[in-house]
Homo-oligomer: A and B are copies of this chain.
């Protein structure tokens, strides 16, 4: 197991929800953790093979009509490793926001162009709020009894709160640039 990559744990975590295929995991990540964590295909599939070899997960072939599908489940060993990781302090945190980097150097171009960039960002943020809220409503209806619900809602509320702060900031700075 690699010492720095968290891909394995992201997979293990997803498999505590229910047994899933690699494709399902990717879909679920895009719907649920994308606003703070994501993995690409090139990470996911090799990691699944590796975890199977380690016996942290097992694989069962499912015939879905004529097409094969690999359904992965977490093992006892896998659960132990996951819990160990969940208990440790989180260290990895990285952001790279090209938009803010450009704005930081905004004095080099016309205020109008910066204002346009902010307006575009505002639109994106607004869409993301709508999407996060829709997911929240969906979960509260469809996953009422899931033991995961509390934590899923927490991570969603985090995303919503941050996005709302971003929105408020956009409005504030657009005003500042327009009066200049």
A100-B157 contact given A16-B108, A109-B83, CB 8 Å threshold? no
Say which residue of B104, B109, B121, B180 sits within 8 Å of A152 (CB atoms). Answer: B104
- Least distance between A110 CB and chain B CB atoms (Å): 9
CB of A117 closer than 8 Å to a CB of B: yes
Whole-angstrom CA separation of A43 from B109 in the bound complex:
26
The residues of B that contact A165 with a CB separation of less than 8 Å are: 161-162, 164-165
Is A65 part of the binding interface, using a Cβ–Cβ cutoff of 8 Å? no
A142 to B147, CA, bound (A): 53
A107 contacts B150, CB within 8 Å? yes
A36 x B97 contact (CB < 8 A)? yes
* Overall SS of chain A's interface: helix
Sorting the interface of chain A by its residue count into under 10, 10 to 19, 20 to 34 or 35 or more gives 35 or more
Q: Which of B98, B148, B151, B152 contacts A90 (CB 8 A)?
A: B98
Complex CA–CA separation, A169 to B155 (angstroms): 10
Most chain B C-beta atoms within 10 Å of own C-beta, residue among A32, A96, A168: A96
Q: Which residue of B lies closest to A93 (CB)?
A: B97
Q: List 13 other contacts, CB 8 Å, given A6-B98, A37-B96.
A: A13-B105, A13-B108, A36-B96, A36-B97, A37-B101, A83-B109, A90-B98, A91-B98, A92-B96, A93-B98, A107-B151, A154-B176, A162-B166
